C-alpha cells in the first residue's frame, strides 16, 4: 500500500483511503462508504475476500476495481505484487481491458412480507445450521418446480463464483463472460441431484420444508444474511448493477485457471 501510494502521489494523483485504515499513509481520509463515489479507480490489495469487500463498496457507483493479489488463490485479484506498479501505470495510461461481472440479488421474504436484501458477486448459500442433520428444501426456476432436495444445503453461484465454493462441491467452471447461474447441491442425499446451469435472466426460489428440528441459514459472499424458516422464501435473481474489473493487457483467464488449479502439472513430482 505504501509503494502504490507513493507512486501515485509522485504522479500527482490524489489518493483516497478509509478512515478506519490504521496504516500511516499520506492520503486523503474519508468514510469507507463514500470512497467509491469519490474515486475514478479502486485498487484493492489483498485476496479474493478483499475483492468481494471492494465489490460491495463499488456496487452503487460502478467504480472499476483493480485487484492486487496478496492472498492465496487470487482468481479475482489477478495482478502479482511484482507487477503492481507496472500494471497500475498501464491502467492509468488507458492500456487495460474492462471486465463486467454479474451480481446476484438475494431476497429473504418472511411470512409477514418483510424482506431483507443482499448482493453477491460470488454466491448465495443455503446451509444447515446443525451438525449431523440434513435440510430438506425445494427449488423453483421462474415459477416452475425443479426438485425437492435433501442434503447439507445449496449454492447459487455466478460465473465469478463458479471457481469458489461451487467448484469444491462439483460445480462447473463458467466463463465470466456468460450470463448464467449455476445451482449446486451441497452433499446431496440423492447422488443424482446434480449441478444445474440456467440463464441469468431466470429467477430462483428456494423454500425450506417443514421437518422437526431442521434449521438453516443464508450466507451471501460468506457474510450471514439470516436464518430461513419453512414459512420464508428465498428469491435469487440477477441484479441490475454489475461490477467492473480492470485488467492489464496481459490478463488471461485460462492462464489463471492453469496456474491456480495446477492444470498440466504432474502431481507425482514433488519437491522435498
Domains of the chain: 2-96+248-261 (3.40.50.10330), 103-240 (2.60.200.30)
Q: Annotated catalytic residue: which of 48, 78, 123, 152?
A: 48
pLDDT tens profile 11-29: 999 999 999 988 888 899 9
Query: Is 212 in the active site?
Result: no
Residues 179 and 241: their CA atoms lie apart, in Å, by 13
Report residue 106 as a C-alpha cell. 438475494
Looking at residue 268, its pLDDT comes to 64
pLDDT tens profile 87-138: 999 999 999 999 999 999 999 999 888 999 999 999 999 999 877 788 999 9
Residues 88 and 92: their CA atoms lie apart, in Å, by 6
pLDDT tens profile 168-184: 999 999 999 999 999 99
pTM for this one? Answer: 0.92
Looking at residue 177, its pLDDT comes to 92
Looking at residue 267, its pLDDT comes to 65
pLDDT tens profile 140-177: 999 999 999 999 999 999 999 999 999 999 999 999 99
Kindly give the pairing relationship between strand 135-141 and strand 180-186: unpaired
Looking at residue 130, its pLDDT comes to 74
Percentage, residues of the chain above pLDDT 90: 78
Residue 272 has pLDDT above 60, yes or no: no
Residue 266 has pLDDT above 80, yes or no: no
Amino acid at each position: 500500500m505504501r509503494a502504490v501510494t507513493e507512486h501515485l502521489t509522485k504522479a500527482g494523483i490524489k489518493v483516497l483511503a478509509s478512515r478506519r485504515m490504521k496504516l500511516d499513509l499520506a492520503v486523503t481520509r474519508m468514510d469507507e462508504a463514500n470512497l467509491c463515489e469519490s474515486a475514478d479507480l479502486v485498487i484493492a490489495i489483498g485476496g479474493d475476500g478483499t475483492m468481494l469487500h471492494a465489490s460491495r463498496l463499488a456496487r452503487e457507483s460502478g467504480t472499476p476495481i483493480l485487484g492486487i493479489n496478496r492472498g492465496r488463490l487470487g482468481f479475482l485479484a489477478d495482478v502479482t505484487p511484482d507487477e503492481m506498479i507496472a500494471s497500475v501505470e498501464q491502467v492509468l495510461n488507458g492500456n487495460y481491458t474492462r471486465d463486467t461481472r454479474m451480481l446476484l440479488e438475494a431476497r429473504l421474504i418472511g411470512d409477514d412480507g418483510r424482506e431483507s436484501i443482499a448482493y453477491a458477486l460470488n454466491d448465495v448459500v443455503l446451509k444447515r445450521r446443525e451438525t449431523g442433520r440434513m435440510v430438506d428444501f425445494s427449488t423453483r426456476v421462474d415459477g416452475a418446480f425443479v426438485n425437492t432436495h435433501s442434503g447439507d444445503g445449496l449454492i447459487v453461484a455466478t460465473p465469478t463464483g463458479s471457481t469458489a465454493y461451487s467448484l469444491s462441491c462439483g460445480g462447473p467452471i463458467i466463463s465470466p463472460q456468460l450470463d448464467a447461474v449455476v445451482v449446486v447441491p451441497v452433499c446431496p442425499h440423492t447422488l443424482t441431484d446434480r449441478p444445474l446451469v440456467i440463464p441469468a435472466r431466470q429467477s430462483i426460489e428456494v423454500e425450506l420444508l417443514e421437518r422437526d428440528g431442521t434449521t438453516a441459514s443464508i450466507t451471501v459472499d460468506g457474510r450471514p444474511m439470516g436464518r430461513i424458516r419453512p414459512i420464508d422464501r428465498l428469491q435469487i435473481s440477477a441484479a441490475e448493477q454489475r461490477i467492473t474489473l480492470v485488467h492489464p493487457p496481459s490478463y488471461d483467464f485460462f492462464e489463471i485457471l492453469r496456474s491456480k488449479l495446477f492444470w498440466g502439472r504432474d502431481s507425482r513430482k514433488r519437491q522435498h
